[in-house]
Structure 1
C-alpha cells in the first residue's frame, strides 16, 4: 500500500487507473491530474457506439466523462480502453419527497446499493455523485438537516460498499447549504455567463470545500439562445479561470445536443459541443486546442514568462526540531519554482539540527542564541535575498506548487501578504485523528472570500517592503502569537492580506493528546501577551474579537455532528425562498470530522472531552497571565437573549392548482385574498393572521402545491385551506 497525505490507496496493475484525493487536487498512480470532463448522454435512440464516440472524446483532450444513470458494461469498457475516468451520477428520485416515510428512504438506499454493486468495481469508474442539484424548495420542505443527513448517509453507504471510489454531491449555488461534510471533493454546477461573475464566485468554493478539492461538475451555454461563437468563447475562458483559481477540474455540459431526459427527447435547448446531426460546433475545436495544453492543475500558471515570478525566500525557524526538519527540507527541495532560496534559522537548538540541514547543500543555516520565534523570523528576513518572505514551520511539508500559487496571488491581486490552507496529513492513529479535529489549531480568518484578517505563521508570506515598513515581528512573542500580532499590525498600517485556496502546506499536528493540550496552554499565554499589546481587540475574560470568520478546514456544512441543524448556521433563502444564490453563512465554522477509521463512538467521546479541556486550559492560562492588566480592558457586552420565538404547530396539506399556473401567479392570487409575503426571511412563504404557509412544487406533480401551515397555538388550518381552494377555483 502506498502512503499519501490523502486517502490511502493501493497501487498495483489492477487499480492503477483509480483516482485519489491528495490535498486540494486529484491524483492517479502518484501523478497529480486536472480533471477535464464532459457530460455524455443520456441519448435518445439510436444510441451512439461507445467505442468510436469515446475515442473522439479522448482525442478532443478530455480525460473523463460524466454520465447520468447506470452505465452499461459496453460504455465502461470503451471508457477504460480510451483512458477515460467515469464520474457516475446514481439515478434515484431525489426531486421527489424521498423522505416522506421510512420505507421510501429504505427503497432509495436499496436502489443506490444495487446500482453500485452492478458497476462499482469496474476499473473505469472513478467517482460517484450521490445526487444532483436537490431542489432548494424541496430541501426547505423536507427540512435542510434531513436532506444533508440523507446525502451523507448515501456517501457512507457507498464508501462501505466501494471504498476505492470517490463520493460527492453535485451541488449548485441555489442550495450551497446542502454541502455534505463527508464528501471526498466538492462539486458545483455553475452557469454564469459573465466572466467576471464566474471568476468572482470560484474563490468562495474553496471556503465551502475546506480541505478538499473543488471540481466544476457542469458548465455550459445553450446555443439556441446564444451564438455558437459565444459558447466557444465561454468554454475557453471558464477553463482558464478554473485553472487560475486552483480548482481540481471542470466539466463541460455537454458532448452532444442529442439528449433524452424525463422520458422524452429534449429539443428545446442545445448545450452540446456537437449538433444533433453529429457535426462539430466551433467550440469543440477551440476547446480541444486549449485542453491539450493542460497537463496538470498548474497548467494555467505555466503560461506566464520568467519575469512574472519574483524571487522568494523561504524561511523556516526551528528550536530543537531536528526530528521534524528532514521531511520539511525534503518537501522544500522539491518545490516547482525557479527563483527561491531556503533559509533555516536555528533558535538555539540543543539537538543535531546542523547535521540534518547539512544534508541539503542548497539550504542556508543561520544560528542564534535562543531568543524566541519572532527574533528568529526577523533574523531570517535580514539575511534573505528575495522580494517575498515565505514563512513555514519545521513540522510542515509544503505542496510542490506552493510558491507558484503564492506568487500568482501576489501578482494577480497585488496583495501585501498572502497565505493558504494548512492541511493535516492522514491520521496514522486515534490520537492524531482527534488532534486534527480538535479546536484551537492554526487557522486563517477571512473577511470575505479573498481578503484575510489573519494568516497563520505556518503558511504566511509577505512582501519585503511591507515587512520592513512595520518593523517585522515583535520579539516579545517567543513561541506563539507572533503571527496574530504581525497580521494585525499589517492591516492597521493599511496593508491587505490575501488568501489562495490552492497554496497549501501539509502541517503535522501534535502527536499525542498531552502535547496538544500543552500547546493550547502556550497559546493561552500568547493570548495574554496579545491582550496587553492590543487591548482594543479583547474584552475582559474573553478571547480575541475577530471581524471575520475563523476557518477550520472542514467543509461549510449547515448540520452539526449530531445531525441536527447547527444553531450557528444562517441560510439566506430570500423572501419566499426565491433567492438565486442562497448562501450559507457561519460565524463559527464546524470542526473537521474525525478521519475514517477513527470515528467510532469512543473516539467521538474523546474528541468532546479534549475539546472541553482545551477551552478550559486555554481560558485559564489566558486569565492567569493577564491578571495584572485585564482589569483595564473593557467589559464584554452583556449577553442579550433572543426573544423566544412563538411556538407553532405544523399541518401538511395539498392544493390542486389550475394547469399552467406559475409560482408568481399563485402568489399574486393569494395576495388578492389577504395573504402577504413576509417582510423578512421566515420558515414560510406567505402569512396571514398568525398563520404561515410554506409552499413546494414537486417536479413530478406540476399541478399540485404542497402546503405546510404554521399555526399559532389554538388555531386550525381548515379556514386557510378552504379560502386558498376557493381562490384557486375562481382562477380556473
Structure 2
C-alpha cells in the first residue's frame, strides 16, 4: 500500500489520483471485535477503501486493514470538551498519548493519517479563545508531523467552528449533517473557500434511521456521495458502519446511524452506498479550445503543454500563440508538440495574443492559461462541470507548486499573487487570467481582451466587462492549475511593479471601480489561498449567545498561504515580513504615485479580563443553553452576533460554556464582567 499524499485539491497514491471513500468504524461497546475479517470483507465489498476511527489503532487492526486494502485514519483521544487551556496536564497527556500511539504503529503502511481532535465544542472554543485553541491544535499537528511526516494530519471540524482551521493541516475535514440536497451542495462549495488550496474531506455524513426511517437514510446517503464527487471533494466519509455506538463512557441505544444494525443485519443504506460508489461521473459534452500565450517561454512551455495533453477531458484543440519570442520557443513547440496549433506574432502584448488565439479557435468554450502553469489532469473536466451549471465564464484556483527553494517559498506566501474574488460561494467577481474560460459567444460579444493591457490587468478588465454585460462568472474549485510564481524576490517585486502600472490603466478606464485613494472597490471577498481561520482581532460571527449553527470569520481579505514548513526559519520569516511591507507600497506607488498601507478590514478589540469566574455542576446534565434560557426569563438581554459574551443586565455581562466528560453530569463555566451578585444559578 503506497503512502497517501496531497496533490493540490486531491490525494495521490502510487502515481495515481486516489479518491478517499471512508466509513467511520467504532467505538463499539465492549471494544474491538475479536476478528475483523467479517466486517472488513463487507466494508470493502460496499466500495469503501478507508476507515475513520475515533481512537488510534493498534497493530492488530492495522494488519487486518492492510490485508483488506483499507487505509486507516486514526483519531487522537483526549478530553477535548473541557477547558484544556487552564490545565496544561490535559494537553501534555494528549502529546504523550500521540507520541506513544505513533511509536506503536511505527512504519505501518495501513495508517494513512491522523485526526488530532474532533469537534471541539463551539461554546468552549469561544470561552478559551479561537486563536488560542487553533494554535494548540496546530501544536499537536506539528508534533505529529515531526514524528511521522509521511502521514496526513488534520482536525475534524464542523460548521459551528468554521474559523478553527489549523494553518498546518494537510487537508480540511468537516463533519456535515445536512438533509437537504441544495443546502448540502451549497455548503460543500463554501468548504472549498474555507480550505483554500487544500483538499476537502467530508469527515462525517449520515442520518439516524431510527427517527427518519431506513429508506430515507438510504436515499440521502446516495445523493450525498454523488454530490460530494460533483463538488470536488477529495474524500467522503459515511457515518457510521454499525448502529452499535459507545460515547461518553456509555452505550448510545437510541441513535441508529449505521449501515448495519446492532445484530449486524444490512440496512437498505448499505446497498445504496454500494451503488453510489459504483456510479461513474457523467461524460462532459463541452468542446474546449485551450489558448496559451507565451513570449520567451522555452523553459516553461513544454511542461505546460504536456499537462494539457494529459487531460481526462481532452481539449478540442490546443493553441499556442507565440508573441514574438527570441529564445527558440516556436521551434520547441513545433518540434515536440506537432498536434498543437501554433501561431507566431510580432510582439504585441498579452491581450492581443489572447485575442489572436480566440480568433483561431473553433471550440464552444475558450479556456486560457499561462505558459508558467501546469493544468491539473481534471482541469477541463472541472470547468465543464461549471458550465453545466449555467455559467457564462468559469475558472478555478491557481496553486503554487511545492517550493524548491527558500525564495520560492517566500514568494508563494507573500501578498499580491493572482487571486479570485467571490461574491458568494459559487459566483465570482474576478477570475485570474491564468485559469479562466468563457463561452466564445460571450467573449466576442464584449470584444475580447483590451489590447492596451500588455502584461497584466487584462483579466480584471475582462471580468468587469463581462459582468457589466450581464454575464455571470462561476467558480470551479476543483479545476486548478499549478502556477509557478516568480523564482526570486527581485523578480517578484518587478512583477508587483507591473501590476501597479496595469492598475493605473484600470483606474483610467474604470474610475468608478476605485476609491479616491486608488484602491479597487470589490463587492466580494478576496481569497488568497490560505485556509480561512481566526487570527488576532478577527471579526467572528457567533450568533445570538454563541448559538449559531454556522459560525465563521467575516474579514473581507482572507488569510494568505502559510510559509512552507521546510523553509520556515528566522531568515525566511524576516524576508517574508519585508515583502509583506514592501509589496503594497511598491504596487501603490506605481498605481497612483503614493505610498499606501494594506488594509485587511476592521478588527474587534478583545474584552478586558473578567472580574469573576464561577462554575456550576449539574448531576442532571444541564448545559449552558438551559441556564441561558433561565437568565433570559430573569430579564437578561442576549448579546449580538459578533459579541464575545452571551447576556447582559445593568452593565454586567456573562459568558457561559459547558464542559462535557464521561457520564451524564456536566459542569458549566461562567465568566463575569461586572457585578456577580446580579444572578444566582447554583454557583460553585
What TM bracket, shorter-length normalisation? over 0.9
Among 660, 671, 680, the alignment partner of 1:708 is 671
Of residues 399, 407, 411, the one that matches 1:431 is: 407
1:22 alignment counterpart: 7
Corresponding residue of 2:541: 572
Question: Partner of 1:687 in structure 2?
Answer: 648
CA contact (8 A) 1:576 1:681 kept: no
Deviation at 1:641, TM superposition (A): 9.4
Q: Distance in 1 between matches of 2:187 and 2:75?
A: 24
Residue of structure 2 in register with 1:59 after alignment = 45
Which position in structure 2 is the counterpart of 1:230?
216
Note the residue ranges of structure 2 that are not aligned, 5 or more in a row.
Answer: none
The correspondence of residues 88-103 of structure 1 with structure 2, limited to 5 A, is 88-103=74-89
What is residue 696 of structure 1 aligned with on the other side?
657
- Partner deviation per Cα, 1:5-50 (whole Å, 9 max, x = no partner): xxxxxxxxxxx52110111101111110111101111122374321
Report deviation, 1:683.
1.4
- On the 8 A contact 1:527/1:543 being kept in 2, the answer is no
Q: Whole-Å Cα distance in 2 between the matches of residues 517 and 109 of structure 1?
A: 42
Match of 1:513 among 479, 489, 504: 489
- In 1, are the aligned partners of 2:539 and 2:642 still within 8 Å (CA)? no
> Residue 660 and residue 139 in structure 1: after superposition, are their counterparts in 2 closer, same or farther (change >3 A)?
closer
Residues 514 and 685 (structure 1 numbering): CA distance in 2 closer, same or farther, change over 3 Å?
Answer: same
> Residues 283-682 of structure 1: matches in 2 within 5 Å?
283-293=269-279, 299-300=280-281, 303-304=282-283, 308-358=284-334, 359-411=336-388, 413-559=389-535, 565=536, 567=537, 569-624=538-593, 649-657=610-618, 659=620, 661=622, 663-679=624-640, 681-682=642-643
Distance 1:662 1:645 in 2: 26
What does the per-residue CA deviation read over 1:307-362, in whole Å, with 9 as the maximum and x for residues that have no partner?
A: x4221100011111111111111111111224521001111111101111111011
Query: How far has the Cα of 1:286 moved from its partner?
Result: 2.3
* SS of the residue 1:335 aligns to: coil
Structure 1 residue corresponding to 2:121, chosen from 130, 135, 150 = 135
Change beyond 3 A, Cα 1:418–1:310: same
Post-superposition shift, 1:540? Answer: 3.0
Q: Following TM superposition, by how much is the alpha carbon of 1:96 offset from its aligned partner in structure 2, in angstroms?
A: 1.6
| Alignment deviations for residues 141-180 of structure 1 (CA, whole Å, 9 cap, x no partner) | 1111111001111111100000000000011111111111
Give, in angstroms, the shift of residue 257 of structure 1: 1.0
Asked whether the equivalents of residues 171 and 187 of structure 1 are also in contact (C-alpha less than 8 Å), the reply is: yes
**Offset from partner CA, 1:52-82 (integer Å, 9 cap, x none):** 3212211221100111112122111000000
3-state secondary structure, aligned to 1:367: strand
Q: Where do 1:251-262 residues align within 5 Å? A: 251-262=237-248
Q: Distance in 1 between matches of 2:601 and 2:26?
A: 56
Matched residue of 1:586: which SS?
A: coil
5+ unaligned residues in a row in structure 1: which ranges?
Answer: 1-15, 294-298, 560-564, 628-634
| Alpha carbons 1:520, 1:618 under 8 Å: kept | yes
More displaced 10-residue stretch of structure 1: 543-552 or 638-647:
638-647
Write out per-residue CA displacement over residues 86-141 of structure 1, whole angstroms, 9 at most, x where no aligned residue: 01111111112211133433232222222222225311000100000110001011
Give 1:416 deviation, angstroms. Answer: 0.8
Give a deviation string over 1:281-305, Cα, whole Å, max 9, x none. Answer: 1111221122234xxxxx43xx33x
What is the CA–CA distance in structure 2 between the aligned matches of 1:44 and 1:659, rounded to whole Å?
Answer: 23
- C-alpha spacing 1:44/1:512, structure 2 compared with 1 (3 Å): same
Distance 2:238 2:602 in 1: 49
Q: What per-residue deviation string (whole Å, max 9, x for no partner) do you get for residues 506-561 of structure 1?
A: 000001111110111011100100010001111233321211111111111112xx
Return the match for 1:724 from 671, 677, 680.
Answer: 680
Structure 2 residue corresponding to 1:173, chosen from 152, 159, 172: 159
Give 3-state SS (helix, strand or coil) of 1:131's partner.
strand
| Secondary structure in structure 2 of the residue aligned to 1:698 | strand
Displacement after TM superposition at 1:663 (Å): 4.2
TM-score (norm 1): 0.89
| Length, aligned pairs only | 679
Counterparts in 2 of 1:389 and 1:24: CA distance versus 1, 3 Å = same
2: CA distance, partners of 1:644 / 1:236: 46
